Structure 1
Amino acid sequence: MDTFQQEIDERTNLTANNKFELLLFRLGTDPHGERSELFGINVFKIREIVPMLTINKPAGTQSPMLGVVNIRDQIISVIDLPAVVGCVPKTGLNILLVTEYARSTQAFAVESVEEIVRLEWSNVLSAESSAGGNFVTSIARLDDDKDNTRLAQVLDVEQILHEIMPKDRNFKVDSLDDLIQRAVKPGAVVIAADDSKVARNLIEKGLQELRINFEMYKTGKEAWERVQFLSQQARAARVPITDKISFVLTDLEMPEMDGFTFTRNIKNEDFLKNIPVIIHSSLTGSANEDHVKKVGADAYVAKFDITEMGQTIGEILRTIIARTERA
């Protein structure tokens, strides 16, 4: 097996221990030139890192879009990331981070790349406001010194893309009223978890439109604690967990506990394992989607394919009905 494949396998195996790798980079100083913040993106989403290329600027291109580049015969849009978060590069835009989000490819121009660090998700704390404004989803502690640790701001790239390159995200799905009435127990809720504000808004809108009761959480840890609490209630009442939880809809990348660990926790416990789990993630690609199956998830939906989400929820409800009829 070559070194490249070994690196992929090693990074994939990190998810078994609630760990991940973060690419650290800089965008310049704040508008007052007082400090240079560290920012980060999950390495899983980085396709490649290349020196700045010649950018073609089509007519009508406006900031923060810089134009497009040609990388191996693929035309890729380039986004001025410092302009997005309000930083001023001191040495210019020198590096392109080519990323894959939700089955789309784009490049982010940054000032410099620092290093790749391996972290536990427990060292990543939810934070939706900081120097990066609305585009920072969490803060990562880069070492174990809690008093003097280096910090990096993890960008909410989903929010950035949503605002810069908006798409039609209206929830389009055939009525599921009959399936919901047959599959969802009265009083049962969907447990949903996502650290991205735009994703939470989308999920909330979709579940409200389907008239499915839900509870929304920002981290896998919060969602898991709620599942455990409802499990205790169900055990005390001597009813199945499906009387309390209809299904789980979770992101993969979340502070404190990732979706891989959250899903494994559910599927590894006999009392909980029949809860259907749908992964809703921008971590696309065959390797990631295959890994989702290995942790026991029942379905995978790429962000932000709204039609696919509705169809998947329908399939999960049919599965619940079939399981109930067999019991």
Structure 2
Amino acid sequence: MDNFQKEIDERANLALSNKFELLLFRLGADAADEKSELYGINVFKLREIVPMPTITKAAGMRSPLLGMANIRGQLIPVIDLPAVAGCTPTTGLNLLLVTEYARSTQAFAVESVEDIVRLNWSQVHTAESGVGSRNITSIALLEGTQQENAMALVLDVEQILHDVIPSVREVKEGDISLKNFQMKPGAVAIVAEDSKVARSMLEQGLKAMGIPALMHTTGLEAWEQIKVMARQAAEEGVSIRDKIGLVLTDLEMPEMDGFTLTRNIKTDQNLKSIPVVIHSSLSGSANEDHVRKVGANGYVAKFEINQLSAIIHKVLEEAVA
């Protein structure tokens, strides 16, 4: 148990240096070119890998939902990941990746698991303009690993869950308690989120709160925008808070993660007054400890709009106190 906890702590500490670990797996032959691509998910979201158990299919359940599996006494929905990605397994669905995302537990059926590699977020690039799949959020370049000269397609699990398990599909304005958010006139929220569906939900939620926002797909894009607005504020002789009322960032993002973005803001004398809220599907005490270490003002797990609204209201109130 001590070694297991040590591994968890080491993995969590990677986040403070813009690094992470990626689980690599295969789903079978692609329908278009019959190649077997490498896919990846962040190891931090992985609870365990188990051999394919007996699956019970409920009436009315349709592909890509395979059914429910009993994993250590917990009934968990099983998603046919090759079916989602348009792949055909050559040896069958052999393993389940049991994952925890945004307050939910689910299992993804895959053909095989290849490796775990340690990467810098600078090795991961947004896939929005280069890959034609709504389920791929980024491309990880694997140079410097045993998977030499290879790349992995990083899945947008939030998009997959949004499509397959229709628990929360839209942000309803009526769900948000009316609050007076302490933002200066003309100031905006800077948002960094690589998942398309999460970005859309955040945009809807902030609009319902009456908070104007500039949306970005990576932490690096958001950081460059912040630096531009900081220069504008200096040239105009106004406070940065007249330009930026809030930064709302995911943790896992190509090029620069949310921890690094937050640390960049909070260690800059001209920017550190900007409230930062981290909004992530990565939950757990280790991440919340890191949120405190990098100086973020708030943390909320995806995606509950009332909790997000409450956290934003709280940090904005504290910023003017």
Q: Which residue of 1 aligns with 2:194?
A: 195
Preserved contact between residue 130 and residue 136 of structure 1 (Cα < 8 Å): no
Matched, 1:28 2:28: yes
Range moving further from structure 2, 310-319 or 35-44: 310-319
Q: CA deviation at 1:310?
A: 1.3
Q: CA deviation at 1:130?
A: 6.3
Q: Which residue of 2 aligns with 1:175?
A: 178
Q: CA deviation at 1:242?
A: 0.5
**Amino acid in structure 2 at the alignment position of 1:161:** L
**Amino acid in structure 2 at the alignment position of 1:267:** K
Preserved contact between residue 78 and residue 106 of structure 1 (Cα < 8 Å): yes
Matched, 1:312 2:311: yes
TM-score, normalised on structure 2? 0.94
**Amino acid in structure 1 at the alignment position of 2:243:** K
Q: CA deviation at 1:219?
A: 0.1
Q: Which residue of 1 aligns with 2:65?
A: 65
Q: Which residue of 2 aligns with 1:136?
A: 136
Q: Which residue of 1 aligns with 2:125?
A: 125
Identity %: 61
Q: CA deviation at 1:175?
A: 1.8
Matched, 1:227 2:226: yes
Q: Partners in 2 of 1:30 and 1:194 — Cα distance?
A: 28
Q: Which residue of 2 aligns with 1:293?
A: 292
Post-superposition Cα deviations, 1:228-268, rounded to whole Å, max 9, x if no partner, equal 11111222223221111001000000000000000000011
**Amino acid in structure 2 at the alignment position of 1:151:** M
Post-superposition Cα deviations, 1:186-205, rounded to whole Å, max 9, x if no partner, equal 21110001000001101111
Q: Which residue of 1 aligns with 2:280?
A: 281
Matched, 1:43 2:43: yes
Q: CA deviation at 1:128?
A: 2.8
Q: Which residue of 2 aligns with 1:83?
A: 83
Q: Partners in 1 of 2:300 and 2:201 — Cα distance?
A: 13
Q: CA deviation at 1:317?
A: 2.4
Q: Partners in 2 of 1:273 and 1:282 — Cα distance?
A: 25
Q: CA deviation at 1:321?
A: 3.1
Q: Partners in 1 of 2:143 and 2:298 — Cα distance?
A: 35
Range moving further from structure 2, 166-175 or 153-162: 166-175
Q: CA deviation at 1:316?
A: 2.0
Post-superposition Cα deviations, 1:112-162, rounded to whole Å, max 9, x if no partner, equal 0000000010010000366671100000000059xx820100000000000
Which ranges in structure 1 are unaligned for 5 or more consecutive residues? 323-327
Preserved contact between residue 52 and residue 96 of structure 2 (Cα < 8 Å): yes
Q: Partners in 1 of 2:133 and 2:236 — Cα distance?
A: 45
Q: Which residue of 2 aligns with 1:325?
A: none
SS of equivalent to 1:284: coil
Preserved contact between residue 16 and residue 290 of structure 2 (Cα < 8 Å): no
Q: Partners in 2 of 1:243 and 1:33 — Cα distance?
A: 52
Q: Which residue of 1 aligns with 2:213?
A: 214
Preserved contact between residue 275 and residue 316 of structure 2 (Cα < 8 Å): no
Post-superposition Cα deviations, 1:22-54, rounded to whole Å, max 9, x if no partner, equal 000000011256200000000000000111111
Range moving further from structure 2, 32-41 or 262-271: 32-41
Say what the alpha-carbon RMSD is for the aligned residues.
1.7
C-alpha distance 275-131 of structure 1, shift in aligned 2 (>3 A) = closer
Q: Partners in 2 of 1:254 and 1:242 — Cα distance?
A: 25
Give the length in aligned residue pairs.
316
**Amino acid in structure 1 at the alignment position of 2:300:** V
Q: Partners in 2 of 1:250 and 1:100 — Cα distance?
A: 19
Range moving further from structure 2, 89-98 or 237-246: 237-246
Q: Which residue of 1 aligns with 2:246?
A: 247
Q: Which residue of 2 aligns with 1:269?
A: 268
TM-score, normalised on structure 1? 0.93
Q: CA deviation at 1:103?
A: 1.3
SS of equivalent to 1:163: helix
Q: CA deviation at 1:108?
A: 0.2
Preserved contact between residue 103 and residue 285 of structure 1 (Cα < 8 Å): no
Which ranges in structure 2 are unaligned for 5 or more consecutive residues? none
